[in-house]
Amino acid sequence: LPEPFQTATAILREIEQHHHQAFFVGGCVRDFLLKRPIGDIDIATSATPDLIQRIFEKVIPVGIEHGTVVVRYKKESYEVTTFRIDGTYSDSRHPDHVEFIDQLDKDLERRDFTINALAMDKSGAIIDLFASRADLQHKLIRTVGNGFDRFTEDPLRIIRALRFSSELGFQIDKETLFYMKKVKEAINNLAVERITTELGKFFAGKYVNNGITYLKDTEAYKHIPVFTKYPQIISLLPTHLKPLYSLGEVLALLHLLEPTVTVKEWVKEWKCSNQIKQEALQLVEACNHYKSNGINDWLVYQLSPAYYQGFIRLINTLFLKKQVSLQELISRMNNLPITSRTDIVIKGNDLIDLYPHAKRGPWLQQTITSIEKEIVAGNLKNDNYNIKEWIKCNPPEIN
């Protein structure tokens, strides 16, 4: 077996030495057979979480009530989950209870799609109970078992089917698609965080346009927060959308397509983190600035370099103008006279010294911002003398 399986094989061996079974399962086996880059390695085992905690030195009990622990080994993390059968999902979040079992086959049966229900042992032998390899070959997403039951049990699987169609470029099996349409209303009951996680991966998919075709065809979006209220947004999506690698980019795009929905509302409805929100807000600002001014020093200065690539993806999606390169942004950034406000040699207190009779107020920040813009534009040198001269010619409006 190639890396990263080679290293992880040691974990399977160790568990087997304790007279238990252990296999690689799920996405890593699928991606291995598809010759795609392997993400996380997930391991399924007949050993209980208790035993795993005793066998390995560093174990983090991330989801121990569902049988999942993370084993740290040679600086890598491996999710190790005990074979289980899921109870009902009455809250549409987690199964109400899980039952640990000692057979692999039942564990594979609870998994969502055939392509995700493969297992592989330490020698690379594949356990394929549902003709999964045939589905991989035919590029088909198909539920394990009856679609109606599986989607009713956990409606997130409807969104996951869309997500995999976007990531893999696969078709959705006819019957599976039929039941996605039939059960889609149940998406309403899901915890939104679960939907958001899947949507992030959906929009980052290499075949996102394939996913969007299914999103439209199934009308599943009508049950996804915000799209429920503004279903027309779906038709505003570009027909040849490029993958957007972060949720911040996605929210920025959605807001720019339909400005009546603010970033704040998307963030609230999709329960995104503050970091995603800040990213989306910065990207929106940069795109709007680009629309009226093109690329200039102020844009590059305002936008965190971490978001440069996202910004490029967005403007390439939104404006079919000449392409902007990352290099261009970085070299502009490197030539900026200052990198942030704190670099300005004059501070608020210096302004107060210049106008000892003025009260503190918004004029302080406004003046600093004007100075900042002049410096970034290259019109003003960042030194005491020049800034004070500039202030004399442009006295602040003290309010």
Of residues 118-157, those binding ligand ATP (CB under 6 A): 154, 156-157
Q: How wide is the angle at C-alpha 66 spanned by C-alphas 63 and 69, nearest 5°? A: 40
Say how far residue 196 (Cα) sits from the centre of its chain: 8
313 part of the interface to ligand ATP, by CB under 6 A: no
User: Which partner, Mg ion, ligand ATP, none, binds residue 154 by CB below 5 to 8 Å per kind?
Assistant: ligand ATP
The 43-72 contact track toward ligand ATP, x by CB under 6 A, reads ------------------------------
User: Cβ of residue 198: shortest distance to ligand ATP, in angstroms?
Assistant: 8
Q: Is 358 exposed, middle or buried (0-12, 13-18, 19+ CB in 10 A)?
A: middle
- With CB under 6 A as the contact rule, which of the stretches 5-13, 111-119, 271-279, 389-397 interacts with ligand ATP? 111-119
Judge contact between 87 and 96, C-beta under 8 A.
yes
Q: Which is nearer to ligand ATP, 112 or 135 (CB)?
A: 112
Sign of CA dihedral 297, 327, 289, 267: negative
Angle at 187 between CA 283 and CA 156, to 5 degrees: 80
Compute the least distance from the CB of residue 173 to ligand ATP, in Å.
16
Nearer to ligand ATP, 173 or 372 (CB): 173
Q: Which residue among 46, 53, 114, 116 contacts ligand ATP (CB under 6 A)?
A: 116
**Which tokens is 9 given?**
């094989």
The per-residue DSSP string of 332-370 comes to HHHT-S-SSGGG-S--HHHHHHHSTTSPPSHHHHHHHHH
Among 6, 10, 18, 40, binds Mg ion (CB under 5 A): 40
Residue 372's binding partner out of ligand ATP, Mg ion, none, with CB under 5 to 8 Å set by partner kind: none
Three-state DSSP state, 171: strand
121 is in an annotated binding site: no
CA angle 3, 39, 54 (to 5 degrees): 75
Stretch that binds Mg ion, among 19-27, 109-117, 160-168, 285-293 (CB under 5 A): 19-27
Contact of 15 with 45, CB cutoff 8 Å: yes
Binding residues for ATP: 27, 30, 111, 154, 157, 160, 163
Binding residues: 27, 30, 40, 42, 111, 154, 157, 160, 163
Binding residues for CTP: 27, 30, 111, 154, 157, 160, 163
Residues at the site binding ligand ATP, with contacts judged by CB under 6 A:
26-27, 39-40, 42, 111-112, 116-117, 154, 156-157, 201
